[in-house]
Amino acid sequence: MLNYVFQRLLGAAITLLLAAALVFGILLTIPGDPAQTLLGLDASPTALAQLRHQLGLDQPPPLRFVHWVTGALHGDLNQSIRYDAPVSRLLRERLSLSLPLIGLTLVISSLLALWLGSAAARAAQARSGRDTWITAGAVLLSALPSFWVGLMLMLAFAVRLHWLPSGGFPGWQEPGRAALALVLPVATLTLTRVAILARMVRSSLLDSLSQDYVRTARAKGVSERRVLYRHALRNALIPIVTVLGVQFAELLTATVIVEAVFSLPGFGTLILSGIEARDYPMVQGVVLVLSALVVLVNLIVDLSYGLLDPRISYG
Amino acid sequence: MANSPSPASLEKPVKQRRRWQRLPPALRVGGLLVGIIVLMALLSLVWLPADPDAQDMLSRLQAPSTSHVLGTDQYGRDLLARILVGARASLLVGTVAVSIGLGSGLIFGLLAGYFGGRVDRTIMLLLEALYSLPALLLAMLLVTAWGPGLVSAMTAVGIAAIPAFSRVARASVLQVRVMPYVEAAQALGARQRRVLLQHVLPNILGPMIVQASLTMGAAVLIEASLSYLGLGIQPPAASWGRMLRESQSFMMLSPGPTIFPGLAVAAVVLGFNLLGDGLRDLLGQRN
């Protein structure tokens, strides 16, 4: 087991290093001189030289890459050009909003998917029409663009009914208003994420429910609820957790979009303002941290298989 | 009796209908939706209800009427005309992105699956790194480097699709390369290139077509998202994402410009997703 964990950790580290090289490499393809692009054609040679030095452009690319990666390992992601502040500090501030948004979405969409998916699986076993409705709804929902769902929810609940704010975030110092401001963004992310998860729960459960141990449990007189949650679901968890891991990367990108729709000051709007201002260190830093999160979640998913199913051996 | 149709002529349509009905329902619905969108894009090349870029400030934010079937936007531009032109842009981005993903994915997948060993491990490691960069973030990086526009969007979506295509190709090659006809070709002394191109490649195209359909839906969605964020197709060119972004401030006055482009995106994504699912079902039935 320890050997497997070590191998996976090493694999994750190599993946992350390659991803960092990719992020760094893409920004090397900027046509022309980035300092000139940022300061304009009228910039003085002194200002250009100063900015080139600040961005590290006066050093060869391999050396810049090594400096950037070692800095990132120490929590230093360089200085933002637009905000004139450390990227790591800006990102930390923004993550205090984005991480609760992602966490809430993950919890709510997982619970909802378990409920809907198991209802669809039970309906499919009973050959009820409810399964078709739930499955068709899930297929339809998974095709909807998250920003459009956000706009439609905003149109209904903020613009027409005036029940919820249409955007903005007052800060955590006002917990009541902050929670209200997150209702529509979380609902948007949940609605677009829950469909794929619910479909996976359904198919995984249907597969488990057709196994011999379920028939044995039923023959022993175990209640249908216990059969579903204690016997079938436990054995259906691995594909569900795998999809949850894959979904995480998509959830990150959906968060960027939803934050833009609802004008939330999270990492999404930070990266967008970075792109607008051509703030290369900031875009580079934020993308690196988000890739690291994706790698980390995939690592956790891989390591969780043994806990979810003790039959899996890592020998 | 002389005018009654012969039994043979009665039989033919019934057979055709049954064959159509035997296709998976997802394939039928998906094919229909994709067909409609493709027709819309083709139609926009020869006919449009109005000039999609012509502004008419006296007819701003009009509700659907006989002169403007879907109404007008905040500049008085005809919504239907802009949606038709937007279909063209969406399909173009999707097609180019799928071509990049499919072409590169086939090469990587064939090499990794056929040669195995160190080649396989190296390719899979590189793909894993690419996979840890979600498509939209990759697009954002390219846009930061090259500036916003169609080329950045298409390239980014195409590159982001490479890992998925490669994995499908690799998995299919692993199945195909142990087939008797491949072993026979090898035993007869066929060169590796010939075995790969003439015996392996044609037999892995089915799963790749399924993946292409699913990627097409994803590509359209990412392009719309990029355009919504202001990083994709630039104004005044019409794109569904951009239309939604521009209409957001006016949705209290007229919801049409916010509703219709979103429905168009959803129809294309749903169409290609269903088509992919249906093709997979069909291939599963055949195998």
CA distance B286 to chain A (A): 21
DSSP state of B200: I
Whether ipTM exceeds 0.95: no
Rounded CA separation A264/A182 (Å): 9
Residues of chain A with pLDDT > 70: what percent? 99
Strand partners, A86: A79
DSSP state of A86: B
Answer for the pair B161, B217: CB distance below 8 angstroms, yes or no. no
Answer for the pair A165, A158: CB distance below 8 angstroms, yes or no. yes
pLDDT value at residue B2: 45
pLDDT value at residue A38: 78
Strand partners, B78: B72
Best of A33, A250, A253 to mutate (most B CBs within 10 Å, chain B): A253
**Mind listing the pLDDT tens digit for each residue in B234-266?**
888 889 999 999 988 888 888 889 999 999 999
Find, among A283, A298, A301, A294, the residue nearest to A77 by Cα: A283
pLDDT at A1 over 80: no
Answer for the pair A35, A57: CB distance below 8 angstroms, yes or no. yes
Rounded CA separation B22/A221 (Å): 41
The DSSP secondary structure of A182-213, one letter per residue, reads HHHHHHHHHHHHHHHHHHHHHHHHHHHHTSHH
| Chain A residue numbers touching B125 (CB-CB < 8 A) | 14-15, 18
pLDDT at B39 over 90: yes
Residues of chain B with pLDDT > 70: what percent? 93
Partner-chain residue, chosen from A16, A256, A283, that has the shortest CB–CB distance to B141: A283
Q: Which residue has the higher pLDDT, A225 or B166?
A: B166
pLDDT value at residue B6: 54
DSSP state of A227: I
| Both structure tokens of B271 | 């169409």
Confidence of residue B99 (pLDDT cuts 50, 70, 90): very high
Rounded CA separation B77/B59 (Å): 8
DSSP state of B31: H
Partner-chain residue, chosen from B125, B137, B146, that has the shortest CB–CB distance to A290: B137
CA distance A114 to chain B (A): 23
| Both structure tokens of B8 | 């043979």
Find, among B149, B127, B146, the residue nearest to B237 by Cα: B149
Question: Is residue B72 classed as helix, strand or coil in its secondary structure?
Answer: strand
pLDDT at B181 over 80: yes
pLDDT at B1 over 90: no
Q: How much is the pTM?
A: 0.87
| Chain B residue numbers touching A98 (CB-CB < 8 A) | none
| Chain B residue numbers touching A143 (CB-CB < 8 A) | 217, 266, 269-270, 273
Query: Which residues make Cβ contacts (< 8 Å) with residue B86, sequence separation at least 6?
Result: B238, B239, B240, B243, B261, B264
pLDDT at B178 over 90: no
pLDDT at B9 over 80: no
Query: Which residues make Cβ contacts (< 8 Å) with residue B265, sequence separation at least 6?
Result: A145, A148, B90, B220, B221, B224, B240, B241
Give counts: helices (H), strands (E), chain A: 13, 0
pLDDT at B31 over 60: yes
Average pLDDT, chain B: 87
- Amino acid found at A294: V
Strand partners, B72: B78
Q: Which residue has the higher pLDDT, B56 or A71?
A: A71
State which H helix or E strand residue B158 sits in: helix B150-176
- Amino acid found at A172: W
Q: Which of B38-47, B136-145, B278-287 has the lowest mean pLDDT?
A: B278-287
Mean pLDDT, range A216-224, rounded to an integer = 87
Chain B interface residues (partner A, CB cutoff 8 A) = 125-126, 128-130, 132-138, 140-146, 217, 221, 224-225, 228-229, 231, 241, 244, 248, 251-252, 255, 258-259, 262, 265-266, 269-270, 273-274
pLDDT at A144 over 80: yes
Cα–Cα separations (whole angstroms), residue A39 to A44, A81, A277: 9, 11, 11
Answer for the pair B160, B133: CB distance below 8 angstroms, yes or no. yes
| Inter-chain CB proximity B132 and A272 less than 8 Å | no
CA A275 to chain centre: 20
Mean pLDDT, range A86-98, rounded to an integer = 94
State which H helix or E strand residue B40 sits in: helix B25-46
Answer for the pair B265, B224: CB distance below 8 angstroms, yes or no. yes
DSSP state of A168: -
How many beta carbons lie within 10 A of that of residue B115, not counting itself?
A: 15
